[in-house]
Amino acid sequence: MFKKVFYIIIIINLIMMNTIIINANDENMNLTKNYFMEATNQTKAEPTLNSKIAVAYDRKSGKVIYGKNENKRSAMASTTKIMTSIILIENADLTQTVTISAKAAGTGGSRLGLKKNDKITMNDLLYGLMLESGNDAAVAIAENVGGSVEGFAELMNEKAKQLGLENTHFVTPHGLDDPEHYTTAYELAKLADYALKNETFARVVNTKDYTVTINGYPKAISNTNELLGYLNGVNGVKTGFTNNAGRCLVTSVNRNGFEIITVVLQADTKKIRTNDSINLIDYIYENYELVNIKNIVDEKFKNWILINKDRIQINKCKYNNMELYMSELDNNIIPIKKSDKDKINIEINNPYYFEAPIEKDTTIGSLKIVLNEEIIDIVDIKNINTVEKRDIWDYINIFAIELFN
């Protein structure tokens, strides 16, 4: 009896020790998982976000699917480095080795850990910038690409202008607070969309862990993006934090070809920005799907022509050889709420009476696509052929035919 009790006590102790070891080793992982559990356990109704600014942006159509103060100017913290990366990639040789200045080495905030006179390639600076969010790497890039922080900011603002970012302005390559350094969630999503079209950028921001080389010595770094590697489809892009910007996160997601970018700015805590991002992403994929609007419109237009073609009259024409076509849609495929797929209305406004002549490709009507009283697109209806006007010989011929009849 004593032996049985003794063995039971030993087994219980071993189980308790194993549980303690597992909990100790997984402490950080469990904290992260709690973020995801809390977020994903919420219902998939339109999310209530605690972040002050947010947007969900469809990459295929360029449309905003969800917005919360998405056009309000805000500090952007280290999400700035999306633009810093693009300027670097488009203007520098990434294989080049550079020497770190005292100014770059002395930059505060999040750091790669560079020291004065360190030797490092531009490629490793890029990884240090986007994974480790190194402000020292940002200044080193600015000095070597733009000649100075100020010169680099000029390149950043020129690029912003090219991309049509009217409410975005850069002062620094790292995003530390400055009243003249700002963007909007919408324009930040547009910038991220542009950046992700670059293969080098897309590869870097989708990297979880990497080893840079400084002065010939390896240094392991990890991506600060807490959603990368944890949430289905996430493949980038950048975190950020300053007092004015709050906690920020720009996230790109691809699920079965449905690609979105979400942005949350001015979250009070990392936990909030994580939960808000997950809830926003899950909301989009639960409630929206990509719809080929062109197929729907083409079918509706074809049926309209079959019914109405013979009703179109053209006065004084030689031949009624009018054939109609539509101009191109702004977007052939758009995200639509699953519950709204059957609510797409096509409104065609086309006269039935015309005077010849009518030149080829003349706009003679319009087609409007409406969803829940919102106009999705308006396209022109045009004629394919030139419709000629009768001349004197045509009238003589008609007169002769009528006379003989």
Q: 272 falls in which pLDDT band (50, 70, 90)?
A: very high
The total number of residues written for the chain in this structure: 405
For 205-261, how does the pLDDT look when each residue is reduced to its tens digit (9 = 90+)?
A: 999 999 999 999 999 999 999 999 999 999 999 999 999 999 999 999 999 999 999
Say if residues 99 and 118 touch (Cβ distance below 8 Å). Answer: yes
Q: Where are the beta strands (DSSP E) in 327-399?
A: 333-337, 344-349, 353-355, 363-371, 374-383
Q: How high is the mean pLDDT of the chain?
A: 89
Give this prediction's pTM: 0.85
- H/E run at residue 233: none
Q: Can you tell me the mean pLDDT for 344-357?
A: 93
Asked about 110 being catalytic, the answer comes back as: no
Place 162 in a pLDDT band, splitting at 50, 70 and 90: very high
Give burial (CB, 10 Å; 0-12/13-18/19+) of 226: buried
Mean pLDDT throughout 283-294?
96
* Number of other residues whose CB lies within 10 A of the CB of residue 298: 14
In this prediction, residues 334-361 reach a mean pLDDT of 93
Per-residue CA distances from 144 to 116, 127, 330, 336 (Å) = 14, 16, 40, 45
- Are the C-beta atoms of residues 223 and 208 closer than 8 Å to each other? yes
Quick one: pLDDT at residue 44? 63
* Confidence band for 124, pLDDT divided at 50, 70 and 90: very high
Percent of the chain with pLDDT over 90: 79
Catalytic residue of the set 68, 81, 190, 271: 81
The better pLDDT of the pair 339, 27 is held by 339
Position 161 pLDDT exceeds 80? yes
**What average pLDDT score do residues 312-320 get?**
88
Instruction: Report the distance separating Cα 85 and Cα 134, nearest Å.
Output: 12
pLDDT of the residue at 94 = 98
Evaluate if residue 170 carries a pLDDT over 60: yes
Of the candidates 78, 85, 101, 110, the residue annotated as catalytic is: 78
Position 218 scores a pLDDT of: 98
Which residues, in sequence order, are CB contacts of 367 under 8 Å at separation 6+? 297, 301, 326, 346, 347, 348, 349, 378, 379, 380, 381
Residue 78 is a catalytic residue: yes
DSSP 118-155: -EEEHHHHHHHHHTS--HHHHHHHHHHHHSSHHHHHHH
190 is known as an active-site residue = no
**11 compared with 184, residue with greater pLDDT:** 184
What confidence score (pLDDT) does residue 12 get?
47
Q: Let me know: does 112 contact 127? Beta carbons within 8 Å.
A: no
Pull the structure tokens for residue 295. Answer: 């197929």
pLDDT higher than threshold 60 for residue 29: no
Per the residue annotation, which of 133, 159, 238, 252 is the catalytic one? 133
The alpha carbon of 364 is separated from its chain's Cα centroid by a whole number of angstroms, namely: 36
Q: What is the pLDDT of residue 22?
A: 29
Q: Name which residue leads in pLDDT, 42 or 232.
A: 232
- Top mean pLDDT of 10-24, 49-63, 372-386 is at 49-63
pLDDT at 75: 98
pLDDT number for residue 99: 98
Task: Quote the pLDDT of residue 36.
Answer: 53
Q: Looking at residues 372-380, what average pLDDT do you find?
A: 93
Q: Per-residue pLDDT averaged across 155-169, rounded?
A: 98
Radius of gyration of the chain (CA): 30
Six token digits for residue 198: 């670059």
Confidence band for 268, pLDDT divided at 50, 70 and 90:
very high
